[in-house]
Structure 1
Amino acid sequence: MPADLAVIGLGPFGLPLAQAAVAAGISTIGYRTGPEAGSLSPAELRRMLSGGFRPATNPAELGRVRTAVICAPTPRDADGGLDLSQLEVAARTLAGHLRPHTTVILESPVYPGATEEFLRPLLEETSGLRAGRDFHLAYSPSRVDPGSRAFNPANTPKVIGGLTPACTESAAAFYGRLTDKVVRARGLREAETVQLLETNFRHVNIALVNEMAVLCHDLGVDLWDVVRCAETKPFGFEAFRPGPGVGGHSVPLDRTGHPGSPLRMVELAQQVNSRMPRYVVQRAAALLNEHGKSARGARVLLLGVTYKPDLADQQNTPAREIAIRLMELGAAVSYNDPHVPSWSVLDRPVPRADSLYEAAADADLTILLQQHRTYDLQGLSVKAQLLLDTRGATPTGAAHRL
């Protein structure tokens, strides 16, 4: 049975879109492009299936929809750029079945110009159709906030930029069924650069507050109190908080995809943020030393190994590097995470502590890496021999904070 929408790529960008479309009453098929990291609870899957969602395994079904949205992941490659290989597979698969008058929208994070320079030729060469004449082509930055209770597709404005004005309007008509507000960009590159700016904004500001965390520790200043006070300013300030590193699926880009166009501040932010796991381990070793213990042979419990609270997603989680560095120092590492039933580092399974309080009482050092809602941090601070809080989530004075 034909559907209104095909979501190509059912990872962290595609699944939320498919959920929103089904909730809006749009008949939707989902097509996987590879081993994607998105996941649904059994209850969420049942709701989607009862609402008209269908997983598709036959690519021919992609040719029977009015709108196709490509949400293939674009992780960082070995050179620090974006790996577009899964996007290419998705594009070629769609192009083999693309029909006239279809609206094709890209939501994957890409560099400015990629929709027209990379995606458009793939679609046109295989389909024999011409973008802007035979089918509509547009870009819309994904604005997913996984696990958020405050923001969802319905109340988050959608930015649209098309190859032509008609392409923009066709994409806007589709997203108008999902969200309360559609914002039209001047064109494809402007919409792509919105995604670039939003991602880099997050990473640059996290880098600033991470540097402030190191400085404040050296000065004996309570950074968390500084941020609490600073965020009362009603203009010119947005509160960001430090952490053990930056995870997630949208990677910062210090280049726009063209030679000679570096974003120096973003490059520096990446350097700062990439140092945080090493800094956490340094602080951990120093704390152990202050309490008469060596990192070698110390029992270290890691709490929360996902990149975001209350989710199972481990994409680019700093917990992995922290665990590796602790192991290199000779520490015996274990972990607790209600969302991760098993965890391996360097192909070695990390012991899972099922009884949180007993494990914290037994560990020489407990490190809070992610503040999952189920953690009783007040009780944990009482039970733990030594607690390093990298999220500023424990009560003041109850733990050593980053």
Structure 2
Amino acid sequence: MTNSSHADHLQDRLLARSASIGIIGQGYVGLPLALLFAESGLSVIGLDTDDAKVQCLNAGRSFIKHIGPDRIREAVESGAYRATGNFDELAECDAILICVPTPLGRHREPDNSYIHATGREIATRLKAGQLIVLESTTYPGTTAQELQPILEEGSGLSCGTDFFLAFSPEREDPGRGDYNTRTIPKVVGGVDTISTKLAVAMYSIAITKVVPVSSAAVAESAKLLENIFRSVNIALVNELKTVFDAMDIDVWEVIEAAKTKPFGYMPFYPGPGLGGHCIPLDPFFLSWKAAEHGRWARFIELAGEINTSMPAWVVSKTAAALNDHGKSVKNSKILVLGLAYKPNVDDDRESPSYELISELSSRGALVDYCDPYFPRTAPTRKWNLGLESVALSNETLRSYDAVVVATAHEEFKDQTLYAGVPLVIDTRNIVLSQGSADVDMTLVKA
């Protein structure tokens, strides 16, 4: 086939919804996308190197709280979706989507090794007429300057002639109620015009609004801008929190007052640090790339410094509060409420709670945690705490010298939990903020 024939053939299969999609990585990004395509009438293969995850999915079970097992079971039983660890099956797919991790190294340098390794796996099986789309967050130029050469050199095929390549950033926000994978607009940028056209056609099958841009680099940059915007603004209110605290002014009340202005202001909220895969990591992809071009992204670096300093600030506030109660951090029993990085989800990626637990423990505190979504801690890229969640009850909380509220789970908003607790350090403004009666305790906002 010619370039035009390959593109027309794929376009026809997409329009007829007879195309098959392979999605590499069945985690918080890849799984909801796979289910959405399956529910939209396409045949979907979910690839993952975790055998336990593959078996779980094929049995119709979910390992992610906000994705119900019924969705998985229906997709599997209908024959529209199945999981596998066999990458040879990629050869049978019309389109292949890459949803693999992109962590940072010890010195905040981007680690694209998962993208590169996945590209090599695809290249050995790549066939003419396939569309490859990278969804993993990365710096501008990755798709065209790194992934494209890997695919071409490993397959002997030419991009834009034999196969097609695009970037479309994931925009998942686990636990969100007002938007979901189908309704969040999808930005798409190909390495050439035909790749963009085909990627738009594919995503339009399942997603309400698809937004084409002029290049893969623009699409890569758009995702970074979104999260840099959030990182910088969160850093601003985190810094203001420490400033207003020194002035004995409640930053939460200040924010509530400021957001009454109907224009020119958007509220952001402080916390004990940043969590999740996006905001703590994504901005540094751009600052690293900027340095390669002789430019210094000072806002990004400063925001990173402020946000990463927040767990230590909370620990210092906890130590000062304990001191006011005649106790030292050493040998004090401290309970951290919440291991998840955001409310009401079972997602602990980059959670500042790990930093809080580690720092308090290093100072000699006897630290436990409570989180209904995490019965026990699992080893992560950085942490292996080996802890189990304690029961959530007033009796439990009262047995600690201090309770640090790190996550705003709905379960933690029950004011009766805190009655008689000697000391509560609230980093999320959820204690005594729900209009309930006063309870007997000392409350410190941090």
TM-score w.r.t. structure 2 length? 0.85
The residue number in structure 2 matching 1:39 is 63
* Residue type at the aligned position of 2:122: L
- In the TM superposition, residue 315 of structure 1 has moved relative to its aligned partner by 1.2
Alpha-carbon separation, structure 1, partners of 2:186 and 2:115: 21
Kept in 2: contact 1:367–1:390 (CA 8 A): yes
The residue number in structure 2 matching 1:256 is 289
Match 1:164 to one of 192, 205, 209: 192
The residue number in structure 2 matching 1:234 is 262
| Unpaired segments ≥5 residues, structure 2 | 1-17, 54-61
Alpha-carbon separation, structure 2, partners of 1:36 and 1:165: 40
Change in 2 beyond 3 A, CA 1:93/1:281: same
- In the TM superposition, residue 181 of structure 1 has moved relative to its aligned partner by 1.0
- In the TM superposition, residue 245 of structure 1 has moved relative to its aligned partner by 0.7
Instruction: Determine if the alignment matches structure 1 residue 320 to structure 2 residue 364.
Output: no
Change in 2 beyond 3 A, CA 1:383/1:93: farther
The residue number in structure 1 matching 2:76 is 49
Where in structure 2 are the equivalents of 1:152-301 lying within 5 Å?
152-250=180-278, 251=281, 252-253=283-284, 254-256=287-289, 258-301=292-335
Change in 2 beyond 3 A, CA 1:36/1:75: farther
Match 1:145 to one of 161, 166, 173: 173
Change in 2 beyond 3 A, CA 1:35/1:310: farther
Alpha-carbon separation, structure 1, partners of 2:341 and 2:413: 19
Change in 2 beyond 3 A, CA 1:89/1:302: same
Alpha-carbon separation, structure 2, partners of 1:99 and 1:262: 41
Instruction: Determine if the alignment matches structure 1 residue 10 to structure 2 residue 22.
Output: no
Q: Number of paired residues?
A: 401
The residue number in structure 1 matching 2:393 is 356
Alpha-carbon separation, structure 2, partners of 1:373 and 1:103: 43
Change in 2 beyond 3 A, CA 1:286/1:44: farther
Kept in 1: contact 2:398–2:418 (CA 8 A): no
Match 1:370 to one of 407, 423, 428: 407
TM-score w.r.t. structure 1 length? 0.94
Change in 2 beyond 3 A, CA 1:43/1:361: farther
Kept in 2: contact 1:33–1:72 (CA 8 A): no
Alpha-carbon separation, structure 1, partners of 2:344 and 2:221: 30
| CA displacement, residues 205-226 of structure 1 (integer Å, 9 cap, x when unaligned) | 1111100111111111111111
Kept in 2: contact 1:124–1:130 (CA 8 A): yes
Alpha-carbon separation, structure 1, partners of 2:122 and 2:388: 43
SS across alignment from 1:244: coil
SS across alignment from 2:335: strand
- In the TM superposition, residue 57 of structure 1 has moved relative to its aligned partner by 2.1
| Unpaired segments ≥5 residues, structure 1 | none
Alpha-carbon separation, structure 1, partners of 2:244 and 2:86: 56
The residue number in structure 1 matching 2:121 is 93
Across the aligned residues of Structure 1 and Structure 2, the Cα RMSD in angstroms comes to 2.1
The residue number in structure 1 matching 2:444 is 400
